[in-house]
Structure 1
Amino acid sequence: MEEGLSEQETLVKKCRSGNPLAQHILYDRYAVSMYNVSLRILGNTGEAEDVLQNSFIQAFKKIDGLESNEMFGSWLKRIVVNHSIDALRKRKIKFISLDANDIEIEVWEEPPSFFDEKPKKEVIKKIQNGIKQLPEGYKTVINLYLFEGYDHSEISEILGISESTSRSQYIRAKKKLRKILNNNSKVNF
């Protein structure tokens, strides 16, 4: 490690020089999490593996464009998300805009009882399986919003849709997911 630089900064600096060992270390550090990001968006292991490889290739080719060496992880995640979205576009996924009148807002007087309990592995697994059953457009928006932490303005930019379309897709995805979970479970979500 170079004096005054973090390990991350040192590795990225070495990658800028084309150091294959530094590239390998960064790949090992980020591959699993970036694969999971892509898999959540695409729902297909083969496509997610392809996206992962292409994302790392692009990242190492364009690493000179990275402004801050410490931001490598978030920069790489953005590349992975963009490549995943491109793969979805190749499938011709449609994002449907809805009028405000089409959206039902659900308000709870009190949170449902399942919020009081810590999630169990089986409940989490049921939710993950439910998300897999959603139409691609819904699945993409709900994954970007809930799991990747993007807001609707960022999602609209990434997907090339309006913010209202992102919001309506998210609301409809939650409604459909709740219906899927209630049909497959004794617990009402």
Structure 2
Amino acid sequence: MARYGMMIDTRKCVGCYACRVSCQMQNELPVEESFIKFYEKETGIFPNVKNEIIPVQCQHCEDAPCVSVCPTKATYTTAEGIVLVDSEKCIGCKYCMVACDYGARTQNHETGVVEKCRFCSELVAEGKQPACVTTCISNARIFGDLDDPNSEVSRAIVRLNAQPLRPDLGKAKIYYVR
């Protein structure tokens, strides 16, 4: 069985927001709600300045703190390693929002359900890629099976020495090239 993950190459990200917009459309989110946030980091000294754009979303952590704090077990991890929320079980208590070290959750203002990136699990089940990956104009995102050493994502992580955004917070399934 696959264990899904992603690699994001921030050296390629141009901050066009195509991933964010496609995610919003795929998940039918209102304009003000998004599962992908962008952070900018400026480094260097003038005139040698670089601007890094860092897209951040749910990291689908191996031992996700949001799962362990959910009192109704609405947040759970699938056999493929995707962290999901069962909207029927979610009571909107926001414990998972507080537990998420990445601030990757949002609460639907109409339903009260806490939502987040699902790695487009409905598309992945059909053998497709997440919307954010297929719309990335600079091919900064690669998605696939982390347990398959021959998968494109696994080879890219090794070749580019990609690392989790915050390795001190536990094992995430999104790796970054910075």
> Which protein, 1 or 2, shows the higher relative CO under an 8 Å CA cutoff with sep ≥ 6?
2
Instruction: Write 1 or 2 for the structure with the bigger share of strand.
Output: 2
TM-score, length-scaled by structure 2:
0.26
Structure with higher helix content:
1
TM-score scaled by length of structure 1: 0.25
Q: Which has the larger radius of gyration?
A: 1
